[in-house]
Amino acid sequence: MGLWGQAATPETAEAVLRRRLDALGMPPFRGFATHTNRTVLLSITARGVLRMHRGYAWAPDRVLSAIVKYVRPGTRRATRRSAEREFLTFPVEVHAPPVRQSRRGVERPRAGDEAIHVRLAEMHRRLNMQHFGGAMPAIRFRLSSRMRTRLGELAVDARSGKPLEIALGRTHLKHGWAEVEQTVLHEMVHQWQAESALPVDHGAVFRRKARAVGIEPSARRHLGHGGPRRTVD
């Protein structure tokens, strides 16, 4: 069973994907949803909803079987790892390109945003020179009103591992620039990990670099997650 060509509507792609996964022995989930966000190819929400990129509707059975293995409870760690590699390499966005106005997406800009963005870009340049030898590429900043518990977040491309953007909570911006600078530096340590092809996490390498740049090495308000979400607080 397959789905070929671009004529299919997203609903059809989702239905086909679901049917194919079920046929391959997918365990039951509370819900199932697809999207075209390439920073999170596959995830299981706290409410037990399985979310995945719609482009997997075009994947061969080999890739879908890897997904089934990955999400099935009790799969051994090594098997999960190789299953993850298998489904991350499938070029989902070729088949289901991102929707410009994604639901997660583009928040309407607010008055004063431009000045904030200018200030953040300057801050990034300065911290880059001070702590990273100027080696870090400039990065896009996004201001999010949905981030309430998290202060900041780095999104990296799930496949290439390259940094995409740093998101900051609008609530956090009210804490003042000194606080924001700490958060930007924290995310820049993650950016440095990603640029250096290191795991983007809060492990020993992170803590060592965090101390070196003069920030608290603890993960601040880090939210745990179960899937290969390619974002880190």
- Residue in this structure with the two tokens 């997203």, named with its chain if needed: 10
- The site for Zn ion, by CB under 5 A, has a size of 1
Q: How is 151-199 classified by DSSP, letter by letter?
A: SEEEEE-TTT--EEEEEEEHHHHTT-HHHHHHHHHHHHHHHHHHHTT--
Q: For 26-169, where are the alpha helices, taking DSSP H only?
A: 61-71, 77-88, 92-95, 113-132
- For the CB of residue 232, give the shortest distance to Zn ion in the complex, in Å: 5
233 binding Zn ion? (CB under 5 A): yes
| Residue 153 lies near Zn ion (rule: CB under 5 A) | no
Nearer to Zn ion, 14 or 233 (CB): 233
Q: Map tokens 């101390």 to a residue.
A: 211
Q: Which residues of 17-36 are buried (b: 16+ CB within 10 A; e: fewer)?
A: bbebbeeeebeebeebebbb
Sign of the Cα pseudo-torsion (214, 231, 195, 170, in order): negative
Nearest CB to Zn ion, comparing residues 75 and 144 = 144
Rounded to the nearest whole angstrom, what is the least distance from the CB of residue 67 to Zn ion in the complex? 27
Site string (174-213) toward Zn ion, x via CB under 5 A: ----------------------------------------
Q: Taken in order 56, 60, 63, 67, is the CA torsion positive or negative?
A: positive
Least Å distance, CB 203 to Zn ion, is 11
Q: Which residue has the tokens 């099935």?
A: 72
Closest distance of CB 60 from Zn ion, Å: 35
CB of 186 to Zn ion, least distance (A): 6
**Nearest-CB residue to Zn ion?**
233
Query: Residue 202 CB, nearest distance to Zn ion (Å)?
Result: 6
Of 179, 171, 170, 184, give the one whose Cα is nearest residue 122.
Answer: 184
Between 93 and 233, whose beta carbon lies closer to Zn ion?
233
Q: Considering only 9-17, 104-112, 156-164, 225-233, which stretch makes contact with Zn ion by CB under 5 A?
A: 225-233
Whichever of 13 and 232 has its CB closer to Zn ion, that residue is 232
Contacting positions for Zn ion (CB under 5 A): 233
